[in-house]
Amino acid sequence: MNPSRIRILAVGKVRKDWVLEGIATYLKRLPGLQVLELRDAGKEREAAAILEALRPDEQLVVLAEEGQTFDSPAFAQRLEGSGSERLALVIGGAEGIDPALKAKARWKLSLSPMTFPHELARLLLLEQLYRALTIQQGGPYHK
């Protein structure tokens, strides 16, 4: 997994300082990975903004409760299997992700069967991306 081939498109602002600190920590550990914040605007407008922000060479991956769940090693393997593809990982807003956008996704990812606020989902996703990278590199972070 190459962090510069991944972008997170996230609806909503992170306001909690402790979450911002965690996000900053993982972004330092994942040089090249970008996070684009999109404005809360309702499902349909958010979907339009996501599609507009999506680059032609990016594969759309949405985080959704009905998505595929992985343990950390399997997630690392899934990302490695993406090879040189660019991925846009989408975290929806409070109302979720528009079904039409979900239908366009290359694949759907679930972080857990539980539901999380978008701020925590962003932090959890960044942590799992870092964990995946260290698994692929054989580092000691994942035990």
Q: Which of 6-10, 54-58, 78-82, 104-108 has the lowest mean pLDDT?
A: 78-82
Alpha helix (H) residue ranges in 9-110: 17-29, 43-53, 72-81, 99-104
| pLDDT confidence of residue 123 | 97
Q: Which amino acid is located at 117 in the chain?
A: P
Share of the chain above pLDDT 90, in %: 82
Q: pTM score > 0.75 for this model?
A: yes
Mean pLDDT of the region 64-83: 93
Instruction: Tell me what pLDDT residue 109 has.
Output: 97
- Residue from 138, 141, 143, 132 nearest 3 by CA: 132
Distance, CA of 9 to CA of 5 (rounded, Å):
13
Distance CA 123, CA 22 (A): 7
Q: How high is the pLDDT of residue 60? A: 97
The residue-averaged pLDDT of 71-88 equals: 92
Alpha carbon distance 121, 33 (integer Å): 16
Structural domains in the chain, CATH included, are 3-137 (3.40.1280.10)
In the predicted structure, residue 53 carries a pLDDT above the cut 80:
yes
Q: How far apart, in Å, are the Cα atoms of 58 and each of 15, 54, 87? A: 28, 7, 5
DSSP 47: H
Q: What is the pLDDT of residues 92-122, one digit of tens each?
A: 998 899 999 999 999 999 999 888 888 999 9
